[in-house]
Amino acid sequence: MFFGMLFAACLAACDGVQVTQPAPAAVAAAHASISDVVAFMGDSITQLWDIPDYDMATPSINFGVADQTTPQMEARFNNDVIASAPGVVVILGGINDLWLYGPSGTNIDSIKAMAAAATAANIKVILCSVMPSDFLNQRFALSDIEAFNAQLIQLAKENGYLYADYYDEFLTPDGQANNSLLMNGLHPNAAGYTKMWAVLKPLIAEDLGAAY
């Protein structure tokens, strides 16, 4: 119970970090045609990302909610992402699933469902790898994260989704989690988010084309 509470608190916020909720209605109102809007769906790793600091050219909506699993993300996907009608959705989730259910109880069904719903609504999809972390190695190993990511890679290949491979960017040369990019062994720090943006930016440009 203690570790569960500690993990939940860690996912909810980090010391000195202010978490703000998105204002999708305001974003939509500012863009009569919002095909250039990029929606970000995820847990606290997404919620804590101040995306406008990295991109002032593309309007974005941050739908990250701390402590959520991918089934919880799926439950609000239509009301959050589909209703906002973005041009692209960036989906990052799975670390909480691994924590709560372990490798044997974790799959990508909810991510698959979210991506399919987005495609049906003519929203382009970018799937994101789970980053390596040794903060939670009492519950799962890096190989379990790699196995989860392998499912995402296969899903992307089968459906033509783009794939943001953050995982490799967060490894040290000897194949361990690079804690210099993490502020608590789990959440990216400023350098980590910069690494993520370097991976993601060309993928968004590819999906939005001339709109980017």
Q: Helices in the chain by DSSP H: which ranges?
A: 2-12, 24-30, 44-47, 70-77, 83-84, 95-101, 109-120, 142-159, 166-169, 190-208
For the chain, domains (ranges, CATH) are 33-211 (3.40.50.1110)
Residues 6 or more apart whose Cβ sits within 8 Å of residue 44: 11, 12, 13, 19, 64, 65, 66, 67, 187
Q: In what order do the strands lie in the sheet with 162-164?
A: 60-64, 38-42, 88-92, 124-128, 162-164
List the chain pLDDT tens, one digit each, 212 residues.
323 433 443 444 344 434 344 444 444 444 434 478 999 999 999 999 999 998 878 899 999 999 999 999 999 999 999 999 999 999 999 999 998 998 888 999 999 999 999 999 999 999 999 999 876 666 778 899 999 999 999 999 999 999 999 999 999 999 999 999 998 878 999 999 999 999 999 999 999 885 54
pTM comes to: 0.83
Residues 6 or more apart whose Cβ sits within 8 Å of residue 183: 14, 189, 192
CB 42 within 8 A of CB 91: yes
Q: What are phi and psi of 51, to 5 degrees?
A: -60, -40
Question: Angle at CA 164, nearest 5°, toward 19 and 79?
Answer: 50
